[in-house]
Structure 1
Amino acid sequence: MTPPSSARCPALLVAAPASGQGKTTVTAALARLHARRGLQVRVFKCGPDFLDPHWHQLASGAPVHQLDLWMTGEADCARRLHAAAQEADLILIEGVMGLFDGDPSAADLAQRFGVPVLAVVDASAMAGTFGALAFGLRHYRPGLPWAGVLANRVGSARHADMLQAGLREPQDWLGALMRVTLKADVGVDVGAARAAGALLPERHLGLVAAHELLDSQQRLDAAADALAATPLGQMTAQDLQRWAVDFPAPAHTAAVPALLAGRTVAVARDAAFCLPHCDAVWLPGGYPELHTAQIVANTGMQASLCAHVAAGKALWAECGGMMALFESITLADGSTAPLWGLLPGQVTMQKRLAALGPQQLAVAGHTLRGHTFHYSTCDSSATVVARTARPGEVPAPDAGEALYQQGSIHASYFHAWFPSSPEAVAHLMGGVPL
């Protein structure tokens, strides 16, 4: 019998043996398929990712939040899952990287909350080895909740039969998702997008955001239609109950103090940028390397930011937001373009990933948790007032991400998870000194 403090709902954690196997496509397809059938679907993303959730929100019609046992914390994950289970007919969680990659990993999240794992395997270049991978994923860690395995990018019905025949445990088979592509993107320039014919096209920082493609909904419908032909896609709401999970009510937590009460913080979040009257500005991540002409042409925004900083008002810029503040950028093709020039120095794009992973940053005696993920490097004479470190490690002079300060500007490649330390955020936003 379900405890009265729990909320019960079918749930799946969509994982894979590695990145690039099709987790996002399958998760979005599942969400779209069941949303079309009238179910209330809630989708979560494991780990700090802001691109995949765009697709999942469009597919499900509901907000998408991150779950991360270290960055956001176990209590935060428990609250979000319990709240979703109270209103949803199905919960989907997209994993990150490979199932057991990272500390904590997607497998850790699945075990902590008892969510069955749906393994997605790119089977385009294998046959019998598919069964070995499925067996290993299921049995590598004792006690891992398990749903089954879906073969992705399958070439033919015969290929699917070979894959299914290789399974040690036939009940693991949830079907084969055939290769599905679109002939062309409609009405959008995705820059250096990889796999332009793919259902969900990519570029250097990950997937192209759903709102950048005029045919995003058609792409999701195509993926959902393909999934509908598999045993997984043919499951009814009643069938999904086999994966029902009890999500306990979270423990009560103390209220967060109103450290920025009465202050207005402006957040840059659209292509045009605008700056109303405010006490502080937050420039979050983005793609300044794709919009250099528009950035330098936006002299009004540049002047507003200069006046804001000259008045001693706080400006917190992270990753792409920080990049836009430098004097210039060298793009991947070797050309150089000017930027806003509020910070001294230059940014250089590179084809290889420059940094990736969870990070923590000490600010005013408090610790912010977050992560880093970028393909550029910077060279600046701005003062470095702190450096990030990996979880549990001590900051080193030449390691981690620099926290630059120039007047009232604080800037870093570090992406902060604000709820991890409201006090540190209040300091960055120019709140009452601590």
Structure 2
Amino acid sequence: MTGAAGGVPGLVIAAPRSGSGKTTVTLGLLRALRRRGLAVAGAKCGPDYIDPAFHEAASGRPSLNLDAWAMPPALVAGLAGAAADGADLVVAEGLMGLFDGVPGAPGRSGSSADIAAAAGWPVVLVLDVSGQSQSAAALVLGCARYDPRIRVAGVILNRVGSPRHRRLVGDAVEALGIPVLGSLPRDEAVTLPERHLGLVQAAETSGLDGILERMADFVEANTDLDRIVAAATASRLDAGSLAAALPPPGQRIAVARDAAFTFLYPHLALGWRRAGAELVFFAPLADEPPPAGCDVCWLPGGYPELHAGALAGASQFLAGLRRFAETKPVHGECGGYMVLGRTLTDAAGVEHPMAGLLDVATSFARRRMTLGYRTATVLADGPLGPAGTVLKGHEFHYATVADAGSDEPFAAVTDAYGAAPAPAGSRRGRVTGSFLHAIARG
């Protein structure tokens, strides 16, 4: 199945740093343009697995990750095409600062600029101008000149204090020949709730549709939507055929999905389905076991530490998972890995028994943030491939390993900075798991 990236215009919403307002602008744009009757699609630069669900809620269309470090260029092109298929416009939200990434080959640093350059999409820069006026123009000029591969098509000023403030900043930016496409006043009423891994998930955000409507009203009232749409340009990517980032781990895949298990990358599910696999969802928090007739079970990441007591008491889920693992493969990523372990200690220090299919004990009471890209070499045949399979992925968690137990490691893992490979994760029989969120094969 081919995408349509080459004919669909797009743009990248980026910023010089995190916390500048990219998400508010992106969600407001998606909903406001949808209300105008445009088929608008979201995309997310980088490995973030929370934002795409908000994009989908705002636009009514699936949003996909585009990751220049973890994905080979052909996969980026295929996913850009899949995002654009049937759309009038693609709005891709950047990550961190526009040029922030990791060491890598040219175009493979994982930055938002890499995606903008590969696709040929112009950048709309969201600039937090609080605490400055004309100096903000120097930041815009630096972003516009730093990387000749990209084009800054315009700027949206955020957290503007007054009409005088807007004039001082706006005049300085427009003197560079770069248009100001909007000016957003300070307004905390349009922010999303947050917790320890960033935003609360879309499915859990109370009154999300109302929040998105307020964001759309806010963005529509304070930006020139017509000029923003006109700034978009068609992708220069040849979408071609979209291959699965990871081959399906089975023909019928039992996938845990509820408030504790939510972090399944949309591009994985899309690729598996297009490869002919069937995803069969079940809810451990509703005490549902993996469905019969499936030939592999996948426990995604999520927030099991917030539901540890309920999971420990889900006797039918745990018993069914253990029965499933007697004859069929089971894999857990991050939170799923924690649930496959022996125990999970919650934030209050209470230890909860888990499935016991792996010997690892994890703790959310002993917190340490772990964040970054990973390259993993699988050490034994399993659902993610035969021994020697190389995976590119990402870790982001606060939980720690309290006791690694006696299991063999799942993979040898290194980071993007060339650290020596180290054993990571666990495997026992048909069961495997690690903190890695796999994005694509290396």
TM-score normalized with structure 1 length: 0.83
Does residue 170 of structure 2 align to residue 157 of structure 1? Answer: no
Residue of structure 2 in register with 1:240 after alignment: 229
Work out whether residues 35 and 41 of structure 1, in 8 Å CA contact, stay in contact via their aligned partners in 2.
yes
Residue of structure 2 in register with 1:279 after alignment: 295
How far apart are 1:105 and its partner, in Å?
1.2
Sequence identity percentage: 38
Aligned partner of residue 6 in structure 2, secondary structure: strand
Residue of structure 2 in register with 1:327 after alignment: 342
Residues 224, 254 of structure 1: CA spacing in aligned structure 2 closer, same or farther, 3 A cutoff? closer
Cα distance in 2 for partners of 1:71, 1:123 equals 33
How far apart are 1:390 and its partner, in Å?
2.8
Residue of structure 1 in register with 2:123 after alignment: 117
Cα distance in 1 for partners of 2:244, 2:323 equals 35
Does residue 380 of structure 2 align to residue 374 of structure 1? Answer: no
Q: 1:220 aligns with which of 192, 208, 212?
A: 212
How do 1:110-189 and structure 2 match up within 5 A?
110-167=116-173, 168-169=175-176, 171-182=178-189
Q: Deviations over 1:103-143 (max 9, x none)?
A: 13111111122110111122233323322211111111224
Does residue 255 of structure 2 align to residue 267 of structure 1? Answer: yes
Residue of structure 2 in register with 1:354 after alignment: 370
Residue of structure 2 in register with 1:52 after alignment: 51
Residues 15, 352 of structure 1: CA spacing in aligned structure 2 closer, same or farther, 3 A cutoff? farther
Q: Deviations over 1:184-211 (max 9, x none)?
A: xxxxxxxxxxxxxx52111111111121
Work out whether residues 8 and 244 of structure 1, in 8 Å CA contact, stay in contact via their aligned partners in 2.
no
Work out whether residues 5 and 82 of structure 2, in 8 Å CA contact, stay in contact via their aligned partners in 1.
no
Structure 2: gaps of 5 or more residues: 102-108, 260-282, 380-386
Cα distance in 2 for partners of 1:257, 1:320 equals 20
How far apart are 1:392 and its partner, in Å?
8.8
Does residue 433 of structure 2 align to residue 411 of structure 1? Answer: yes
Does residue 408 of structure 2 align to residue 383 of structure 1? Answer: yes
Of stretches 387-396 and 275-284 in structure 1, the one that deviates more from structure 2 is 387-396
Residue of structure 2 in register with 1:16 after alignment: 15
Work out whether residues 295 and 340 of structure 1, in 8 Å CA contact, stay in contact via their aligned partners in 2.
no
Structure 1: gaps of 5 or more residues: 183-197, 422-434
Residue of structure 1 in register with 2:333 after alignment: 318
Of stretches 86-95 and 23-32 in structure 1, the one that deviates more from structure 2 is 86-95
Aligned partner of residue 422 in structure 2, secondary structure: coil
How far apart are 1:83 and its partner, in Å?
4.5
Of stretches 285-294 and 104-113 in structure 1, the one that deviates more from structure 2 is 104-113
Does residue 273 of structure 2 align to residue 249 of structure 1? Answer: no
Residue of structure 2 in register with 1:308 after alignment: 324
How far apart are 1:75 and its partner, in Å?
0.9
Q: CA RMSD in A?
A: 2.7
Cα distance in 2 for partners of 1:124, 1:51 equals 27
One-letter code aligned to 2:394: H
How far apart are 1:395 and its partner, in Å?
5.0
Residues 407, 20 of structure 1: CA spacing in aligned structure 2 closer, same or farther, 3 A cutoff? same
Cα distance in 1 for partners of 2:162, 2:435 equals 45
Work out whether residues 21 and 152 of structure 1, in 8 Å CA contact, stay in contact via their aligned partners in 2.
yes
Does residue 110 of structure 2 align to residue 104 of structure 1? Answer: yes
Aligned partner of residue 324 in structure 2, secondary structure: helix
How far apart are 1:312 and its partner, in Å?
3.6
Residue of structure 2 in register with 1:195 after alignment: none
Of stretches 156-165 and 111-120 in structure 1, the one that deviates more from structure 2 is 156-165
How do 1:18-37 and structure 2 match up within 5 A?
18-37=17-36
Cα distance in 2 for partners of 1:367, 1:26 equals 36
How far apart are 1:302 and its partner, in Å?
0.9
Cα distance in 2 for partners of 1:254, 1:100 equals 28
Aligned partner of residue 70 in structure 1, secondary structure: coil
How far apart are 1:163 and its partner, in Å?
2.3
Residues 256, 244 of structure 1: CA spacing in aligned structure 2 closer, same or farther, 3 A cutoff? closer
Residue of structure 2 in register with 1:70 after alignment: 69
Residues 305, 12 of structure 1: CA spacing in aligned structure 2 closer, same or farther, 3 A cutoff? same
Aligned partner of residue 112 in structure 1, secondary structure: helix
Cα distance in 2 for partners of 1:46, 1:93 equals 7
Aligned length: 393
Work out whether residues 299 and 337 of structure 2, in 8 Å CA contact, stay in contact via their aligned partners in 1.
yes
One-letter code aligned to 1:387: A
Cα distance in 2 for partners of 1:361, 1:260 equals 16
Residues 257, 229 of structure 1: CA spacing in aligned structure 2 closer, same or farther, 3 A cutoff? closer
Q: Deviations over 1:228-286 (max 9, x none)?
A: 123433x16xx72342224343356889998766x432110124423211322110101
Does residue 309 of structure 2 align to residue 293 of structure 1? Answer: yes
Cα distance in 1 for partners of 2:417, 2:17 equals 26
Aligned partner of residue 384 in structure 1, secondary structure: coil
Cα distance in 2 for partners of 1:336, 1:260 equals 32
One-letter code aligned to 2:377: L
How far apart are 1:227 and its partner, in Å?
0.9
Q: Deviations over 1:134-176 (max 9, x none)?
A: 1111111224222111122223333322322332425331221
Cα distance in 1 for partners of 2:246, 2:391 equals 16
Aligned partner of residue 222 in structure 2, secondary structure: coil
Residue of structure 2 in register with 1:192 after alignment: none
Q: Deviations over 1:364-408 (max 9, x none)?
A: 12212221111111122122243212359575236xxx0311222
Work out whether residues 356 and 372 of structure 1, in 8 Å CA contact, stay in contact via their aligned partners in 2.
yes
Of stretches 385-394 and 46-55 in structure 1, the one that deviates more from structure 2 is 385-394
How far apart are 1:84 and its partner, in Å?
4.3
One-letter code aligned to 1:244: T
Of stretches 210-219 and 28-37 in structure 1, the one that deviates more from structure 2 is 210-219
Q: Deviations over 1:401-433 (max 9, x none)?
A: x0311222111001113x537xxxxxxxxxxxx
